[in-house]
Amino acid sequence: MPLEILLVLVVGGIAGIAVLLHLTGKSRLQVLTPDTASEQWLRHFPDDIVVDVTVAHDGHAALVRTDTGAGLIWSFGADTVARHLRDFDWLHHPKGLEVQFHDFGTPHVIVNLDETERSHWQHLMEPA
Amino acid sequence: MTDPVSFPDAVQWAVPFFIAAILAEFLWIVIKGRGGRYETRDALTSLIMGAGNIASGLLLGFIAYAFFMWLWQITPLNLGTSIPVILLCFVLDDLRYYWVHRFGHRIRWVWASHVNHHSSQHYNLTTALRQTWTYTFTFMMVVRAPLILLGFHPAMVLFVGGLNLIYQFWIHTEAIGKMPRWFEAVMNTPSHHRAHHGRNARYLDCNYAGVFIIWDKMFGTFVPEQEDDRVDYGLVHNIGTFNPLRVAFHEWVGIWRDATQPGLSLRQRLAYCFAPPGYSHDGSRDNSEQIKAKHLDRHPEDRGTPGFEQFDVKSPDAPAEQA
Ligand SMILES: [Zn+2]
Ligand SMILES: [Zn+2]
């Protein structure tokens, strides 16, 4: 196949599918509740015991305390990703907090928090 | 000597069909309200990975091709290009695929390339196109050497390999439940390959087949999809990025970080590169055997069921357990 035609097909096809999905509402983030956050945490870490869950007001992240320490779970497209808060840094962010994992495949996540939430979360994230 | 043998690049010609089929699957899900899930950024990443795979083939394909042409020059055998020979080549190349794919899950160096195919938590036709950019660096082209030395022309070997990949496209769907029984018995199907994409303990390291599921049955890696254990797609440790560059290279970066950390023996460094994924020198990670053993501790009732056959039903202590 001529390279130009292949290029047009590939670029046009990818762009067309992405626009179609976005316009039909497929870009929505998963919204977490305390129950789904806990359920999802156990999906990622089935050996843990969840102690309690604090969901951010926008429902796109939750701080999970477990028998093996605190962890963060957040909406990742229609799904979730979760990490224990072991090797991490956090920074102030205009929207709340930015948590950095020293991991090339999961570099950082921005958690939307209001002022009262932010100080509470900072307290919870401190290593026990 | 001129070389008159030429075969079309099947994968490139299949691109319009891929696009049409993705649109059809999406439409089907919208109309029926079931049969799969699509998410914008997930699909976009998968499609970009697919385009990058074609680009890396155009850029790096010459390395494998030069190697194959060198083999072709030293082999005294030439089986020609008759239809029966092409069919035989297709079947033997599928056996080749089985082993490359199995190595891809059991040797971290090869997994670093293959992992991105499993890095989506979705399972739809776009997932099929989430393909590696770094296959050349795995050196898995050597597994094709016997075929060429046996007298199958390199162009034919690459052609049937392309057909193999195209076959695997349509099985990446939840829109099809089960195919007819005879078909499920012989061929790789959406059901068998869904299990392969599972991160559930039961489905780890199963169903490596490309086209014919019989290889898994022959070599003891077949696990049928279970109705009471819904497949949870993705990786044991799901990644938190849609960035195609991070998706393509994250496991290579992981190998580098692990193998170059201070204070390890040479043996431990090599294990970080070549042992099965989940190896760690300090026991801080679990490989698939350990994950299965831990699952059986929580769910003893699953002992001896599909995917857990290697754990003896009678003995209460599973092997490879770690504190
Ligand atoms: Zn695989
Ligand atoms: Zn697949």
Q: How far is B56 from chain A (nearest CA, A)?
A: 14
Radius of gyration of chain A (CA): 18
Q: What are the chain A neighbours of B240 within 8 Å (beta carbons)?
A: 74, 76, 81, 83, 101, 103, 105-107, 109
In angstroms, what is the span from residue B244 Cα to ligand 2's centroid?
A: 17
Asked if B241's CB is within 8 angstroms of A106's CB, the reply is: yes
The bound ligand whose nearest atom lies closest to the alpha carbon of B169 is 2
Q: Is B15 on the interface with A (CB under 8 A)?
A: yes
User: Distance (Å, rounded) from C-alpha B45 to C-alpha B162?
Assistant: 22
pLDDT at B322: 44
B222, B213 Cβ separation under 8 angstroms = yes
Tokens 């030429």 sit on residue: B6
Q: What is the pLDDT of residues B308-319, one digit of tens each?
A: 998 876 554 544
Whole-number pLDDT of residue B318: 46
Q: Residue B70: its pLDDT value, please? A: 98
CA distance B198 to B188: 15
Closest residue of chain B to A84, computed from CA coordinates: B237
Instruction: Enter the tokens of residue B56.
Output: 């890396």
Give the gyration radius of chain B's Cα atoms.
Answer: 20
B38 in contact with A, Cβ within 8 Å: yes
**CB-based contact B130:B41 (threshold 8 Å):** no
* % of chain A beyond a pLDDT of 90: 88
Centroid of chain to Cα B260? 27
What is the identity of the amino acid at A71?
Answer: G
Report percent pLDDT > 70 for chain B.
95
pLDDT at A61: 97
pTM of the complete model: 0.94
Q: Is B292 on the interface with A (CB under 8 A)?
A: no
Q: What is the pLDDT along chain B (323 residues), one digit of tens a residue?
A: 445 677 778 888 899 999 999 999 999 999 999 999 999 999 999 999 999 999 999 899 999 999 999 999 999 999 999 999 999 999 999 999 999 999 999 999 999 999 999 999 999 999 999 999 999 999 999 999 999 999 999 999 999 999 999 999 999 999 999 999 999 999 999 999 999 999 999 999 999 999 999 999 999 999 999 999 999 999 999 999 999 999 999 999 999 999 999 999 999 999 999 999 999 999 999 999 999 999 999 999 999 999 999 887 655 454 444 43
Determine contact, residues B214/B206, Cβ cutoff 8 Å. no
Of all ligands present, the nearest one to the C-alpha of B113 is 1
Whole-complex ipTM: 0.95
CA–CA gap between residue B116 and residue B129 (Å, rounded): 10
Distance CA A41, CA A24 (A): 29
Predicted pLDDT of residue A2: 83
Closest to A14 (Cβ–Cβ): which among B47, B232, B251?
Answer: B47
pLDDT digits (tens, 9 = 90+) for B101-155: 999 999 999 999 999 999 999 999 999 999 999 999 999 999 999 999 999 999 9
Q: What count of Cα atoms within 13 Å lies in the side-chain half-sphere of residue A24? A: 16
Residue A122 has pLDDT above 60, yes or no: yes
The candidate with the shortest Cα–Cα distance to A73, out of A93, A49, A43, is A43
Say if residue A69's pLDDT is above 50: yes
Average pLDDT over residues A83-103: 94
Ligand 2 centroid, distance to B191 Cα (angstroms): 11
